[in-house]
Structure 1
Amino acid sequence: MHALQKCLLVTAVTCLIQNALGSEIINGKKADEKSMQYMASVQNNKKHTCGGFLVSKDFVMTAAHCRFENPKSLSVVLGTHDLRKENKKMRYGVKMICRHPAFKEVANGNDIMLLKLSKKVPLGNKKPIKLIPLPIQKLNLEENEICSVAGWGPTEPGKSGYVNELQVLDVPIINKDKCQKLWRRTLKNVICTGGYKAKSGICQGDSGGPLVCNESAVGIVSFNNNNSCKYPDVPNVYTDISQFLPWITDILKKKKCKG
């Protein structure tokens, strides 16, 4: 009986996670146009689907659960926080999809993906697009350290689609052991923030956005709890980028996917 109850609990939690992908920003604020110039709108058939962020001149990072099988239908918009202002110069095709080979579902971690763009992004002081640095070693973030997350998802629970103007939210780091107890499951290679004891956090609609701490992208929006997004709730969960540095470095260096 104990084994059966444990199995049912794991199944239930997995279902909650699978129904909770995304990153609408609940109770955030409009992002400053001159901030977060690394933000990317990942689009399928020119429709915003996921968030992302520019990590090199020809690669955008996002979440692996943003499932795209055909690069030809994909494009990435860079250089604007307002999706109503996008134009042809801001749109980049996707040449290659590099999903982490160990990814199966968000409940098992490894929720990270790199998209190789069809052309290099022009960078410079006078350009509206910038790179965001990645960690150079495994992280040890302090509990309650304040970071930020951004996205174009709806700003109210229960809404669908996306908003035109990028929203941003400050979120506190939550202790990993505490996070696992609240989720009642083992969470591999993740960072937990927000949603718990707070009326703000992420929700459905726009996964793949960056968790930014000390001006570096340290996490990728992965999942939260159920579809309601009625906070306070359990902590929001992000992929810990620092756990995948060899895989990332190899792809960025060789300009192709690593199996």
Structure 2
Amino acid sequence: MMHALHMFLLFHLLTCLGPNALGSEIINGKNAPEALMLYMASVQNNMGDHICGGFLIREDFVLTAAHCIRSNPTSVVLGTHNLKKVDNRTMRYNVKTCKHPSFKNERQGNDIMLLKLSKNARLDKRVKPIRLPKTVIKIKDNAKCRVVGWGFIRTGGELSNKLQVVDVPFVNLTVCKTRWRPLNELPDDVICAGGYGTKNGFCQGDSGGPLVCGGEAVGVVSFNMNRNCDYPNVPNVYTNISKYLKWIKDILKKKNC
């Protein structure tokens, strides 16, 4: 009898809390403001399903993670924070994949890919590219950055239709490598933020999205600990964009890969 009463009270509580009972965020984040993060792209397959994040760096190129190629990306959606509100005629762009030639898997590095849009994106109040660093980045330990995406709201959960954003602290690379060493020797082309010393971070489906520090995209979401988003554990790992500036510039110059 008492057990039944407890179950009833729990059910009533969850009903009152509604969708907030289990959270509605990237991991402990919030809905991204409509007027911000206008560089965000949803990388999608030929069924129109979201598979990865990405971000516009020029009117004809989106940057994302190379491991997203396993899900066969065919298009990107720009100009919306809500994936239930997509106008295919004006928001969807077919893409050609330009995966980094040295990529094998994310744990070995080079987890970066450019997507060449089939036509130039229309830049307006809904779509704007984000700046990349011009040189090697210098970010202080624990500096506040942010990560953005439509990924899982919890480990083994489901994708968010609304774009989520969360602040994450930048983690010193030496500390990050030390924390990761029992699990995996990290490559030299990564940076770390979130997931460690905080409950904030990214989850599956956020791959390819940007780590933004000081208004610049400095990292690309790469991997976490065995797909476990129950933070804190070990730092989240991003591809260090500054290590690939020449490769990016060469492709942008040629407008092809």
Structure 2 length-normalised TM: 0.86
Q: Give 1:193's aligned residue.
A: 193
Contact 2:57 2:130 in 1 (8 A): yes
Greater RCO (CA < 8 Å, at least 6 residues apart): 1
Give the structure 2 partner of residue 238 of structure 1: 238
Q: How is 1:95-134 mapped onto 2 (pairs within 5 angstroms)?
A: 96-124=96-124, 127-134=125-132
Answer with 1 or 2: which has the greater Rg.
Answer: 2
> How far off is 1:101 after superposition?
0.6
Q: Secondary structure at the match of 2:97?
A: strand
2:153 is equivalent to residue 173 of structure 1: no
| Distance in 1 separating the partners of 2:42 and 2:71 | 17
Return structure 1 stretches of 4+ with deviation > 6 angstroms: none
Given that 2:167 and 2:200 are in contact with CA atoms closer than 8 Å, whether structure 1 keeps it comes out as no
Given residue 67 of structure 2, which amino acid in structure 1 is its aligned partner?
H
Paired residues of 2:107 and 2:186 also in contact (CA < 8 A):
no
- Return the offset for 1:188: 1.5
After TM superposition, give the deviation of residue 228 of structure 1 in Å.
Answer: 2.8
How far apart are residue 69 of structure 1 and its match?
Answer: 8.1
1:1-259 → structure 2 map (5 Å cutoff)? 25-45=26-46, 46-67=48-69, 74-88=74-88, 89-94=90-95, 96-124=96-124, 127-160=125-158, 162-184=159-181, 185-257=185-257
* Stretch moving more, 79-88 or 181-190: 181-190
CA RMSD of aligned residues (A): 1.4
CA distance in structure 2 between the aligned counterparts of 1:204 and 1:174, rounded to whole angstroms: 20
Deviation at 1:227, TM superposition (A): 2.7
Work out the CA distance in 1 between the residues paired with 2:81 and 2:58. Answer: 19
Counterpart of 1:150, as a letter, is: V
Determine if contact 2:51/2:71 at 8 Å carries over to the other structure: no
CA contact (8 A) 2:146 2:166 kept: yes
TM-superposed CA distance for 1:140, in Å, is 1.6
C-alpha separation between the residues in 2 aligned to 1:38 and 1:177? 31
Alignment gaps of 5+ in structure 2: 1-24
SS of the residue 2:161 aligns to = coil
Secondary structure of the structure 2 residue equivalent to 1:247: helix
One-letter amino acid of the structure 2 residue matched with residue 90 of structure 1:
M
What's the offset of the Cα at 1:187? 2.8
Letter in 1 for 2:167: D
Shift of 1:84: 0.8
Structure with bigger strand share is 1
> Structure 1 length as normaliser, TM-score?
0.85
What residue ranges of structure 1 are gaps of 5+ in the alignment? 1-23
Count residues with an aligned counterpart: 228
1:126-153 Cα offsets, whole Å, 9 max, x none, are x310010101011121101110000001
